[in-house]
Amino acid sequence: MSEPTTTPTVVAVDVGGSGLRLQRYAVGPGPVLSAPGVRLGPGGVDVPALVADARSLLAAGEPASAARPPDVVAWSMRGLLFLADRTEVLRAVADGLGARRTVVVSDAVANLVGATGGLRPGAVVAAGTGAVAFGTDFDRQWRRVDGWGHVLGDAGSAAGLGMAGLRAALRAYDGLPGGSAALLSTATRLLGAPETWPRLVMTTPDAPERLASVAPLVTAAAVDDPVAHELCVQTGAALAESLLRAAEGLDHPALAATGGLLAAAPVADALDASLARVGAVRSPARGGALDGALLLARHLLETGSVPEHPAYLIVG
């Protein structure tokens, strides 16, 4: 009597500041499960704690009778590029989840794969609380643009737009040209008296998120307020600049953009107009970083390999 065959299983994990998301794929995609996101310990990001969360989600989402280690795990992680030893992450994930093969990938790469739907030359810009662009041919060129945080960079991000909105509001408060009375009114309702804003957006751990919370006020005001509209236009143009730089040198790259900020028409329109001026067009994003991690895991399962890069994508 022949042994019963088992369906190969892959698991994708995406770790970001807002949460850890996990999806299993066997005969088809399973539900997306979630847990808290990046945790900081004395030595930086607490990867073992994140792996423990992922292991708990796997155990909770799989009947005990069918539970077994996945064949492949693809672990997408924000901030991977800034870690001193990425092989420690690979080791922790491989040991903790017990997969036969493990991929650890920067969320910038996973976001590109998810947005374009495969491992093909392309570039993507992600406009969330922060902003980062990434382009690669999965061979010789791997280029990240921006992602330096709300103080030093993240041009075109929600935090950046929120900061610009608060600056325009404070110019109105001080009676200076270029201010926006509309933004002063709405930001005061959201954050309180302007005198409290410096502490809220400069000294608190959640300063980027506080700034990003102002971005919807700016995009809403852009309908009637020329100052807010111009800030949205500048945001879209900044995203296009990063995207084009990330794609520079690639042969017929697919271009994509992701992030909630693109739901604002003035931002998306300015992005597309900036691309059009150089004859470029972006395609609708097919998915996000979790989708990209799942595609990478399935690619490794089916072909036995994925392109590797010591900073962006490592395999064990």
Q: Is 121 left (phi over 0), alpha (psi -120 to 50) or beta?
A: beta
In a shared domain, residues 272 and 155: yes
Percent of the chain clearing pLDDT 90 (strictly above): 69
In a shared domain, residues 156 and 269: yes
Does 139 fall in a domain? no
In a shared domain, residues 172 and 267: yes
pLDDT in tens, 70-118: 999 999 988 787 777 888 899 999 999 999 999 999 989 999 999 999 9
Phi–psi pair at 134, nearest 5 degrees: -145, 140
Cα–Cα distances (Å) from 91 to 38, 49, 87, 96, in that order, read 18, 14, 6, 8
Neighbour-count burial of 77, counting CB atoms closer than 10 A to its CB (0-12 exposed, 13-18 middle, 19+ buried): buried
In a shared domain, residues 257 and 308: no
In a shared domain, residues 258 and 305: no
What is the number of structural domains in the chain?
A: 2
Does 141 fall in a domain? no
Q: At 1, is the pLDDT very low, low, confident or very high (cuts 50, 70, 90)?
A: very low
Does 267 fall in a domain? yes
In a shared domain, residues 36 and 75: yes
The answer to whether the CB of 158 falls within 8 A of the CB of 132 is: no
In a shared domain, residues 250 and 304: no
In a shared domain, residues 297 and 227: no
Phi–psi pair at 142, nearest 5 degrees: -135, 105
Does 1 fall in a domain? no
Cβ count near 164 (within 10 Å): 22
Q: pTM, whole model, 2 decimals?
A: 0.86
Does 207 fall in a domain? yes
In a shared domain, residues 161 and 270: yes
* Domain, as residue range, for 203: 149-276
Cα angle 66, 304, 98; round to 5: 40
Q: At 69, is the pLDDT very low, low, confident or very high (cuts 50, 70, 90)?
A: confident
* Residue of 288, 301, 296, 294 lying closest to 312 (CA atoms): 296
* Residue of 37, 217, 34, 254 lying closest to 125 (CA atoms): 254
Q: At 37, is the pLDDT very low, low, confident or very high (cuts 50, 70, 90)?
A: low
* Residue of 154, 111, 125 lying closest to 240 (CA atoms): 125
The answer to whether the CB of 115 falls within 8 A of the CB of 258 is: yes
CATH number at residue 73: 3.30.420.40
Does 134 fall in a domain? no
